[in-house]
Amino acid sequence: MAIDYQPRIVGFLCNWCSYAGADMAGTSRMTYPSNILIIRVPCSGRVDPLLVVKCFEQGADGVLVSGCHPGDCHYAEGNYHARRRFALLRSLLDFLGIEKERLRVEWVSASEGGRFRELVSSFTEEVIRLGPRGEVTVGPQSADP
Amino acid sequence: MDPSQQIREKAKELLTSGAVQCVIGYERATDGVTARPLFAYEVEDVDRFIFDQTCSHNLTRYLLDKRDKDTAVVAKPCDSRAINLLLNEKQIQRERVFVIGVACQGVVETEWNHVTERLQTRCELCRQHTPVIYDFLVGEAPEEEPPSQAYPDVSQIEARPIAERRSLWEGHFSRCIRCYACRQVCPGCYCTECFVEQLDPLWAGIRIAPPENEIWHTIRAFHLAGRCIGCNECERVCPVNIPLSLLNRKLEKEVDQLFGFQAGLSAEALPPFATFEKEEILE
Amino acid sequence: MMAQFISKKDLLAWLEKLIQERTLIAPARTNDLLLFQLISRVDDIVLNSNTELSPKECFFPATETLFTVRTNEGHTELVAETVDRETVIFGLRPCDAMGIALIDRPFLAEPADTLYGQHRARTILVGLACSQPKGECFCTSLGGGPDDATHLDILLTEVEDGYIVQAVTERGKEILPPVAERELPLPPTPSLEAIPTEGLPEVMKRFFEAPYWSRLADRCLHCNICAYVCPTCYCFDVRDYSTKGTVERVRSWESCQSPGFTRIAGGYDPRPTKGARLRQRFYHKFLYFPEQFGALGCVGCGRCIRACPVNIDIREIISDIQRMGAKGGA
C-alpha cells in the first residue's frame, strides 16, 4: 500500500437529513477528513446504483450513501427503497471482488452533526485500511453534448 | 405420443382455427443435431417442429416482437416463468398468448455441431419440471420436487478470497466484446433505450474496455435482480464464454434470502424492488 | 517437386527469435476459446483450429483511440496515436488473409485510414494452410482455398515432420527462417462443400422487397456476434470523450444489426425493422461491397455459422436466394 495513499471517497447525501447533518457538523466547526466529495441529492432513494458503480470505475476508493432514518424520509418511502437496493448492491460488489465495506450506507438526521463527523472519520479510516480500490484504467469519460 | 408430434398437432389446430397467427417453437438447425427457433405462420410448416433435449432456447423473448399478433409459444418450465414476468410487468397481453407448455427433464449442453449427453448445470439444479403457466401441456407432468435452495456454483465463488474473486471477474470482463447478445436474448431486457446506450448521462460509452465492460455487466445483473428467471440464455449465447449465470444466480440467491422472493412464479406478485417492509433488517 | 522445408524444431526456434525481435501474435487458448493473442511463450501457440474471432482486430481493434487533444493554460496540442511496433501474425488461415485484403479496400482507399495503414505496414502475415477445414468452411466458393497463398507474406503447409515454406512476398523473404531444399509433394488440397455464389449480386438485386428477410429476421436477436467474429465486417462508431481539458476521439466496433444503428438526429430510422437490418448485412456483403470494391464481402470462414445463437446460416441464405432467383419472379 502506498505510503501517501489518500483515499477518494464520494458521499451521496440527501438534502433533507444527511446533507443538513453534514452542514451542522461544519457550522459547529467539527473537523473530519476532507477526502470525501459530497454530492447533494433530494433523497437517498434517488441514488441510482449505477452512480455508485460508476464512482468505483472512475477511481473512487469508497462510496457513502446517506439519508434520513427509515421512517423519517422526507418523501415518505425513498429510503426504504434505497435500503433494499444497496443491501443487494453491496453483496453483488463483494461477489465481484470489491469489498462490501467500500460501500457504506448510513442514516444521519439533520441534527446529527456529530454522528456525521464520526461516520466520515471512521469510514475514511476503513477505506485507508482497505487500500486503494484498484488501478484506474478508465480514460476520460463524459461526452461533450 | 412424443412431444414433437403433440406440438405439431397443437400448432396445426391453432393455425387452422385462426386462434393464432404464428406459432413459435423449435426445429432442427443446419448442423443437423442442434435446435433453432421456428416461426410457423402456415400449416405446412408445422411438420418441422421438434422438441427434445437440444431445445435450449428461451423462445418467450420473441413475444416482445409479436405484441400485435396472437401468438403461440412453446415454453419449458424456466421459459414459462419469463411469461409470468412479462405479464407482471405489463409487457404482453395474456389474451394474445397461447402457451404450449412442455414438461421438461432438462436440456443438454450443446454447441455448434456437437450435442453432449451432459445436462446443463442450470437443469441439474432445477426442480421445476412443469411450466408455471400454460394453456396446453405437452408431456407428462412428473411429481414436483420442492424448489432447490442450493446455489453450489455461487457458494463456490463466495468461498474464494476476495482478491481471487477480483482477478477472476477482471479476467472475464476483459474478454467481453460488447456484442450485447446477452441483452438481446434476455426476455427481461426490453428497454427501448438501454442504459448502456444513453449519451446523457453517459454511463459507459462506446469504448470496449474492462472498466466499461464491468459497468455493463454489473448493472445489467442489477437491473435483473428479482426478475431473472434463470433460463441461462445469456451465458449460452456469449461468444467469449463469460459465466454470466454466476452473476444472475448470486442475485437470485440474495433476493430469495433477503426478501423471500422468486421471480416469475406468479403474474401478480409485487416485485421486491417495488415494495418494502418498514422494519426489515437486511444486513 | 523441390520445396523449401523447415522442421518443427527449427520453426519453434524461429518463432522464439520473432518473440525477441518483434511482436508475435498467434492463436492461443483462453477459457476454452482460441483467439489471436500476444505470444510470450511459444508453447502457448495452438494451431489445430481456426480462432473464434478473426485477426481483423490486429488492424482494426475493437476499441482504438484515434487522437487526444490536450489543453493546458491556453496551449492546445493534438496528439495523434501512432503504431510503433513491428508485428508478425503467425498461424493465419488463407480465408483470414483474404479477409484482410478485402477490408484493405475500404480502409486504404483514399483518404486512407491512418492507423489501419500503419498497422498494415508494420505487420507481416505468416499463414498456415488448412489440412482439416471445418464442415462449415466454404472458402473455395468465394475465390479462395485452404492452401491459397495469395494474400500472405509466407505460407506454411504442414507435412510429416515439419512444414513446407512458401515465401510469397519480398517482406516474407526478408524474415524467412533458414530452410532446406527437399523433394516433397505438396499435400492434396482438401475439398469443401460448394456453395452457389455464382452471379449472386445480380440475383440479390431482385429480392430487396421480398418477405424472405423479415421472416428470417424473426429469430435474429440483433446482437453483434456475426459482425464481430466476421473477418470482413468493418462498421464502427466514433465518439469524442472529454474531461477537464482533454478530448479523446475513440473508435469502436459497431454493427448494422444493432437496433438504432441507423437512427439519426430527430429520431428517424431508415432501418427500423428487424427485417430491414438483417437484410442490410447480406446486401452489403453480396451486392453493395461487390459493386464498390469488386469482390463479394465474405471469405467463407464459417465463423458466423458457428457463433450465431439462432442458426442464421449464411450458406442457407445464399442457397435460398439462388433458388428464389432460379424460380423467377420479383
We report the CATH number of the domain holding residue A63 as 3.40.50
Q: What is the ipTM of this complex?
A: 0.94
pLDDT digits (tens, 9 = 90+) for C126-184: 999 999 999 999 999 999 999 999 999 999 999 988 999 999 999 999 999 888 999 88
Our count of domains for chain A comes to 1
The minimum CA-CA distance between A139 and chain B, rounded to whole Å, is 9
Contact A49 B222 (CB under 8 A): yes
Q: Are B113 and B76 in contact (CB under 8 A)?
A: no
pLDDT of residue C45: 96
pLDDT of residue A4: 65
Cell numbers given for B158: 463466495
pLDDT digits (tens, 9 = 90+) for A94-122: 999 999 999 999 999 999 999 999 999 99
Residues B12 and B120 in one domain: yes
Percent of the residues in chain C that have a pLDDT greater than 90, as a whole number: 88
pLDDT band for A3, please (50, 70, 90 cuts).
Answer: low
The C-alpha angle with vertex B158 and arms to B157 and B161, in degrees rounded to 5, equals 90
> What residue of A is the nearest CA neighbor of B244?
A96
Chains that touch C (3 or more CB pairs under 8 A): A, B
Q: Per-residue pLDDT for A144 more than 60?
A: no
Q: Per-residue pLDDT for A136 more than 70?
A: no
Q: Which range is least confidently modeled, B39-53, B205-219, C175-189, C274-288?
A: C175-189
- Assigned domain for B238 exists: yes
pLDDT band for A141, please (50, 70, 90 cuts).
Answer: very low
- Assigned domain for B144 exists: no
pLDDT of residue B201: 87
Residues B133 and B184 in one domain: no
- Assigned domain for A140 exists: no
The minimum CA-CA distance between A143 and chain C, rounded to whole Å, is 5
Domain end residue (candidates: B138, B173, B190)? B138
Contact A143 C243 (CB under 8 A): no
d(CA B36, CA B27): 6
- Assigned domain for A51 exists: yes
pLDDT of residue C166: 94
Using CA atoms, how far residue B186 sits from A93, B126, B150, B218, C127, in Å, is 22, 19, 23, 15, 39
pLDDT digits (tens, 9 = 90+) for A22-60: 999 999 999 999 999 999 999 999 999 999 999 998 899
Q: Are A99 and B161 in contact (CB under 8 A)?
A: no
Amino acid letter, residue C293: F
- Assigned domain for A144 exists: no
DSSP string, B61-74: GGGGG-TTS-EEEE
Q: Which range is least confidently modeled, A85-94, B233-242, C73-82?
A: C73-82
Domain end residue (candidates: B70, B105, B138)? B138
Percent of the residues in chain C that have a pLDDT greater than 70, as a whole number: 99
Residues of B in contact with C136 (CB under 8 A): 112-113
d(CA A64, CA A72): 19
Residue A14, SS3? strand
pLDDT band for B283, please (50, 70, 90 cuts).
Answer: confident
Q: Check CB contact of C219 with chain B, cutoff 8 Å.
A: yes
- The mean per-residue pLDDT over the stretch C36-63 comes to 95
Q: Per-residue pLDDT for A137 more than 60?
A: no
Residues B100 and B179 in one domain: no
Chain A residues 80-139 with a CB less than 8 Å from chain C: 139
pLDDT of residue B142: 73
Cell numbers given for C66: 484515434
CB-nearest partner of B239 from C225, C310, C311? C225
Neighbours of C11 (CB within 10 A): 18
Domain hosting residue B263, numbered range? 152-271
Residue with C-alpha cell 420436487? B145
Contact A80 B162 (CB under 8 A): no
Residues B106 and B179 in one domain: no
pLDDT digits (tens, 9 = 90+) for B140-177: 877 767 666 789 999 999 999 999 999 999 999 999 99
Using CA atoms, how far residue C199 sits from C138, C196, C203, C250, C311, in Å, is 16, 9, 7, 39, 25
Residues B74 and B161 in one domain: no
pLDDT digits (tens, 9 = 90+) for B234-280: 999 999 999 999 999 999 999 999 999 999 999 999 999 999 999 88
Percent of the residues in chain B that have a pLDDT greater than 90, as a whole number: 88
> What residue of C is the nearest CA neighbor of B28?
C311
Residue C3, SS3? strand
- Assigned domain for A50 exists: yes
pLDDT digits (tens, 9 = 90+) for C281-312: 999 999 999 999 999 999 999 999 999 999 99
- Assigned domain for B103 exists: yes
Residues B108 and B167 in one domain: no
Using CA atoms, how far residue C296 sits from A41, B12, C116, C146, in Å, is 56, 41, 21, 18
Contact A141 C243 (CB under 8 A): yes
Q: Is the dihedral of CA C223, C272, B188, A48 positive or negative?
A: positive
- The mean per-residue pLDDT over the stretch A55-77 comes to 95
- Assigned domain for A141 exists: no
Using CA atoms, how far residue A108 sits from A94, A113, C164, in Å, is 24, 8, 76
d(CA C144, CA C147): 8
Our count of domains for chain B comes to 2
Q: Per-residue pLDDT for C226 more than 80?
A: yes
pLDDT of residue B147: 66
- Assigned domain for A2 exists: no
How do beta strands C87-92 and C23-30 pair?
Answer: parallel
Chains that touch B (3 or more CB pairs under 8 A): A, C
Q: Per-residue pLDDT for C19 more than 80?
A: yes
pLDDT band for B199, please (50, 70, 90 cuts).
Answer: confident
Chain A residues 37-66 with a CB less than 8 Å from chain B: 49-50, 53-54, 57
Higher pLDDT, B3 or A5: B3
Domain hosting residue A111, numbered range? 9-130
Chain C residues 247-276 with a CB less than 8 Å from chain A: 247-248
pLDDT of residue C198: 95
pTM flag (> 0.90): yes
> What residue of C is the nearest CA neighbor of B179?
C224
pLDDT of residue B148: 67
pLDDT of residue A143: 37
- Assigned domain for B145 exists: no
pLDDT of residue B126: 85
- Assigned domain for A44 exists: yes
pLDDT digits (tens, 9 = 90+) for B15-47: 999 999 999 999 999 999 999 999 999 999 999
pLDDT of residue C329: 63
- Assigned domain for A143 exists: no
pLDDT of residue C330: 54
Chosen from B26, B207, B244 to mutate, greatest number of chain C CBs within 10 A: B207
Residues of A in contact with B171 (CB under 8 A): none
